[in-house]
Structure 1
Amino acid sequence: MGESKADRRALIALAVVACVIVLGIVLFGGREEKSDPLTPFRGNEGQGAQNSSFRFQDSSSSAPEVEGELPESFDPNTVDSASLVALGLQPYQAHAWVRYREAGGLFYEPQDIQRLYTLSERDIERLMPKVKIRAAAHAKRDSRLHSEKADYTLSTTSQPTKETTYVPKFDNPTKVEVNSADTNLLKRIPGIGSNIARWIVDRRDKLGGFYAVEQLLEVKHVEPSMLEWFTVDAAQIRHIQLSDMTFAEMSRFPYIGYEKAKAISNYQRIYGPIISEEQLRATRIFTDEELEKLRNYIF
């Protein structure tokens, strides 16, 4: 019986101790749990502010987030770089856009923004519906087309005027140096009128000069029989380093064009400037025949 009572007392004592421990945990631990969340909460507030700021910065550079803030339309011929960035483009894309214009590039239709190699398909799809080109660009193009049409009409009219003064043709075979000849001298060659003379000079200006008389066959309406009248001074060719050319300049160069200019620009952006024919050949952008022509101008 004594042992039984002692056992009961021991059990009661253990139960009391256990209750005290549990009560202490509940009281003091509960306070800690109630107070601890305050610190993480304050910390989360700070993190939340930082995350909110981070997401805001991200959204300013991503098209979907800023699309709601975009203007209903913009003119690609006058928009500045800051506005382009606000439209969702990266600074380097905006810079390339402005440089394209500075090099003489002009946008006549909304789809013309596809010429900008730095724009992704997503950029083009997003921006093209917002492009609104002012009448000035169309007027400039119409003026140029009207001028060409007027020049053609004047050159084919039967009544000589001040602008269409008759130019006598050469009676005897004469060699004309094509890289220095003006249109009046070119028109003295049998078979060459105002239009062909202008086209020859225009092709020469775009290339930077001719290195062979056979290149004249690339000009509209120039016949093989006309080549005997020409000679070429290749020393007058204008050379330029490929790595110094802008995208617009490469696109306009007759032996490069838009697609190859885009490939060159992408290559140079990743691997660095192309400064030798061997480097350009390694890109496999051009055939051997095309490189043979290019080496006379860019290397």
Structure 2
Amino acid sequence: MWKDFFYFTKTQRRGILILILLIIGVNMIPLLLFPPTVEPIDEQVRTQRELTYNRFLTSVRKTEAKNRYTKNWYSKAYSPKEIRLTSFDPNTADSTTFSNLGLPPWMIRNILRYRSKSGKFRQAADFGKIYGLTEKQFQELHPYIRIAESFSRKDTINLRMEVKEKYDSIYKYPAGTLVNLNEADTTELKKIPGIGSSIARMIVNYRRKLGAFYCIEQLQEIHLKVDMLRPWLSVESNSTKRININTAGIEQLMRHPYINFAQAKAIVEYRKKKGKLKSFTQLSLYDEFSPADFDKLSHYISF
């Protein structure tokens, strides 16, 4: 049997143990007689090593500081700019206005370049055709687009009539004549020196949207020169049409040139949460409104 090959007597086992101990003892003799010694490090070598280590730590600190500065500078320079949605005319808005609306610099340059080549946005949908403007961005900006009547599309018949009027002799009022700005139609407005068919229609259309003018200076909002027209126009006080702020819906409120989508939404939400409005003071905490907004709306709002 295989066990017979590995069977040892007691004497044999004792001999094997003594042999193992002798082998270990022989291997330990050199270590006991000649213990290893640690060679002392030369002072110059130690100093050199310390300098190298200190240089390494200094370079690490400089790298961390540089990375920290770069990170802070990058985060400040390229942090997302706060988007402020407000009413704008794509035909007259400047680069700052477009930037506040969240448009990137390259898109702003394209818009300004398009306008510099006599390009015009005739309606809100035209602004949605800008290269790079996504459908989501356009839907967010659409409620704030206000295109002046002077840029509206003209049909062929009106264009021919304007060309004809250019060469026809049209009666003009003599100096000293006053025209009521809130009652005059296009025919009467055209009798004022400096006012033609397009400007007369522009005034009447804007008057209809406002619900009448409360001062002549409002003509600046449709890019007319008030100083030239002031001697010919008069405005009766308290002649504006007012909107009941407690009953009008979002759509009705937005139709007014002085109320944008965000403001109309804020008004309706306030009514739902806190009830009827009694004064503009209740809306003063909303970021959507400014004191100038309240000043203009006071002529067109009733409570």
TM range (shorter): 0.3 to 0.5
Structure having the higher helix fraction is 1
